[in-house]
Structure 1
Amino acid sequence: MTDIATRIDRAFAPLTQAVQAARIPGGVLGVVDRDGHRALRVIGSAQLVPEKRAMTETTWFDLASLTKVLFTTERVLALADAGTIDLDAPLTSVLPDFRQYNPDNWERKVTFRQCLGHQTPFPAVFPLYTYGRDPDLLRTFLLQHEWQAGAAVYSDINFILLGLALERLDGRGIRAMDPGKGFAWSADPKNAAATEDCTWRHRVLVGEVHDDNCAALAGAGHAGLFGTVDALLDFAVGKLRGAGPDALIRTPLSARRTHGWERPYEGWSGGEHCSPDTIGHTGFTGTGLWIDFARGHAWTLLTNRVHPTRHFDSGIVALRRSVGDQINAD
């Protein structure tokens, strides 16, 4: 059986090439097995502008959409396991005011499970942050906006709504909730990977959330979590050992998705060589985590590929697949 040191050495090669080609500033790669043995590799810069800083093994990353699986999915499934919510009940069982002025609309029929699996007609993207900067008003807007139904696609709206349900049940905003061991809702700029030179916040974002809608909402269920490579590997070890609501995160809801997570399909981010019993998820900032239960190992690739701008072909899609293929080649 190939050891994790060999796997990470192979997988570090395409990351090294991406940094040397100036496609991404830097990255951290980590691999861990079920017994907790791990290997880490680091390369490049955590920040390029307005100053340059080296990437380290302790660099904190804006995990972006990994928030969906590391925080929101975990909380929703724990509440379901406790009997607090019914996954097949509509969101209105917790958010009775959702689209309250039109009780017969489709939005009021959307369930928790459908949101977890992105099986709803919500749009893929929506620039909520352009509607104002008042978080409470934006939450009200989300709940009363007449959404145009379309084909079921991956949509942040699903997890923003799940986040609103968590806030309603907990009686406080998401940023006031415990983000989980090793995670936080912000990071020290001196030890955080920089993201974008934001056009509407007029600064390079370091240690504060990159996602526009999450920033405008002052915390949301789809983005905003920060963590280090060790925090992600610790989370993965817990899953490999069976901690938490594992049955559902491994239970398919569609050809591409489980509850919260993705599962292997042709062209997916984890590459072609992982087992069918693998789950994974990516984040827009250049992050990702994949857990292969059959092989008994997991890997995370953390980059700052949007620094200093998202409007550049970083090659992150091909890089993720190449890393996954090298990790799982036997």
Structure 2
Amino acid sequence: MTGDERFAEASRLVANWVDGGRIPGAVLGVLDAETGVTTRAFGLAQRLPGERPMTTDTWFDLASVTKVVFTTPRILDAASSGILDLDAPVTQVLTELRQFDPDAWQRRITLRDCLTHSSGLPATFPVYTYGTDPDQLRAFVIQRDWPHGDPVYSDLNYMLLGFVLERLADARIRDLDPGAGFAWSADPAEAAATEYCPWRRGMLVGTVHDENAAALQGAGHAGLFGTAASLLAFAGGLLDGSGATPEAIALMRTAVGPRRTYGWEHTYEGWSGGETCSDQTIGHSGFTGTGIWIDFGSGRAWTLLTNRVHPTRWSDSGIIELRRLVGDALNR
């Protein structure tokens, strides 16, 4: 199949999902050595309280894609330049972590543990329910006696990494440059709506969906906004080596377990990128319905951005199946 034929087949799948009412809308984008950059928009950027059409320039709340587009490259680049030691405890920067218990297990967590989701911290926690002051909530995360468990994919790992970046820059994440084509919020007229939030009592459009990132007023695990074009440009930078240091890119591609690399996922049976990409592919998805995948073997990257949580997360969007089908169609 040609690149155009593969894109047409993937587009048919996304259109079926939208036409069937499983997701309000989507943008599909591909970066391919054969065809260049191709994007297509489907359906609605917002359904309620009024309808707006999706466009290829629509901004999306990227949710956990923030981890790999913003936080991971910056931590790895800092390590490449000698600013950080990945094998040193997080206390090399966050000296006050669990400061009232010098023997606390949390004080032994390393940056490498956080990047590879092997720290033993819980998957997530409703930090936003513990107050409204972002500085107090940061102190809460840093000082809490978190239970130690089996390694799991954890937002808390990336909250700590975000705090490290803030400490190094002496600034909040929202004050740091997110990179070309990315932002920490978006114009509601140009953004895909996410969910009606009972906590904030309104439909979220152009403001971060993740409650903890909202309460912290910026975090390392979620909160970045971007377009299909900006994600494909980011992917292109990793493919051609211009987007991060060689050491950082190598670690992003290095398997550290059956599913993970540094920050990213690699291929495994049933993963989100499908079964037809090469074994040199990495990818990551976000809760709001976003995702990016980069195949270093073929030189191809693709992004599928949806507003699958609009107007509520409590629906059967079939996003997991759609991601796999699209990945298979694009890599046949």
TM-score normalised by length of structure 1: 0.98
State the superposition RMSD in angstroms: 1.0
* Pair 1:144-2:147 in alignment: no
Distance 1:309 1:195 in 2: 8
Alignment of 1:88-103 (within 5 A): 88-103=87-102
Instruction: State whether residues 3 and 34 of structure 2, in contact with CA within 8 Å, keep that contact through their aligned partners in structure 1.
Output: no
Q: Offset of 1:206 from its aligned partner?
A: 0.4
Q: Offset of 1:190 from its aligned partner?
A: 0.3
Instruction: State whether residues 34 and 237 of structure 1, in contact with CA within 8 Å, keep that contact through their aligned partners in structure 2.
Output: no
Distance 1:34 1:326 in 2: 16
Q: Deviations over 1:185-229 (max 9, x none)?
A: 000000100000101000100000000100000000000100111
* Pair 1:258-2:261 in alignment: yes
Aligned to 1:113: 112
SS across alignment from 1:280:
strand
* Pair 1:278-2:277 in alignment: no
Do the aligned partners of residues 80 and 63 (structure 1) sit closer, same or farther apart at CA in structure 2, a change above 3 Å counting? Answer: same
* Pair 1:324-2:327 in alignment: yes
Aligned to 1:206: 205
Aligned to 2:299: 296
Instruction: State whether residues 34 and 241 of structure 1, in contact with CA within 8 Å, keep that contact through their aligned partners in structure 2.
Output: no
Aligned to 1:58: 57
Instruction: State whether residues 29 and 229 of structure 1, in contact with CA within 8 Å, keep that contact through their aligned partners in structure 2.
Output: yes
Aligned to 1:9: 8
Give ranges in structure 2 of 5+ residues lacking alignment: none
Q: Offset of 1:251 from its aligned partner?
A: 1.1
Aligned to 2:165: 166
Distance 1:231 1:39 in 2: 13
Do the aligned partners of residues 167 and 72 (structure 1) sit closer, same or farther apart at CA in structure 2, a change above 3 Å counting? Answer: same
Q: Offset of 1:33 from its aligned partner?
A: 2.0
Instruction: State whether residues 8 and 40 of structure 1, in contact with CA within 8 Å, keep that contact through their aligned partners in structure 2.
Output: no
Give ranges in structure 1 of 5+ residues lacking alignment: none
Q: Offset of 1:124 from its aligned partner?
A: 1.1
Q: Deviations over 1:238-290 (max 9, x none)?
A: 11112212111111111111111000111110011111100000000000000
Q: Give the partner amino acid of 1:68.
A: K
Distance 2:291 2:234 in 1: 13
Distance 1:74 1:91 in 2: 17
Instruction: State whether residues 4 and 39 of structure 1, in contact with CA within 8 Å, keep that contact through their aligned partners in structure 2.
Output: no
Distance 1:106 1:24 in 2: 43
Q: Offset of 1:102 from its aligned partner?
A: 0.9
Q: Offset of 1:3 from its aligned partner?
A: 3.5
Distance 1:5 1:129 in 2: 45
Q: Give the partner amino acid of 2:327.
A: G
Distance 1:176 1:203 in 2: 25
SS across alignment from 1:39:
strand
SS across alignment from 1:46:
strand
Instruction: State whether residues 4 and 32 of structure 1, in contact with CA within 8 Å, keep that contact through their aligned partners in structure 2.
Output: no
Q: Give the partner amino acid of 1:223.
A: A
SS across alignment from 1:290:
strand
Alignment of 1:216-255 (within 5 A): 216-243=215-242, 244=244, 245-255=248-258
Aligned residues: 328
Distance 1:64 1:300 in 2: 14
SS across alignment from 2:266:
coil
Alignment of 1:10-29 (within 5 A): 10-29=9-28
Q: Deviations over 1:11-68 (max 9, x none)?
A: 1122111111111000000010247811111110000011100000110000000100
Q: Give the partner amino acid of 2:144.
A: H
Instruction: State whether residues 90 and 110 of structure 1, in contact with CA within 8 Å, keep that contact through their aligned partners in structure 2.
Output: yes
Instruction: State whether residues 4 and 35 of structure 2, in contact with CA within 8 Å, keep that contact through their aligned partners in structure 1.
Output: no
Aligned to 2:308: 305
Instruction: State whether residues 33 and 237 of structure 1, in contact with CA within 8 Å, keep that contact through their aligned partners in structure 2.
Output: no
TM-score normalised by length of structure 2: 0.97
Distance 1:327 1:33 in 2: 10
Q: Offset of 1:132 from its aligned partner?
A: 1.2
Q: Offset of 1:104 from its aligned partner?
A: 0.9
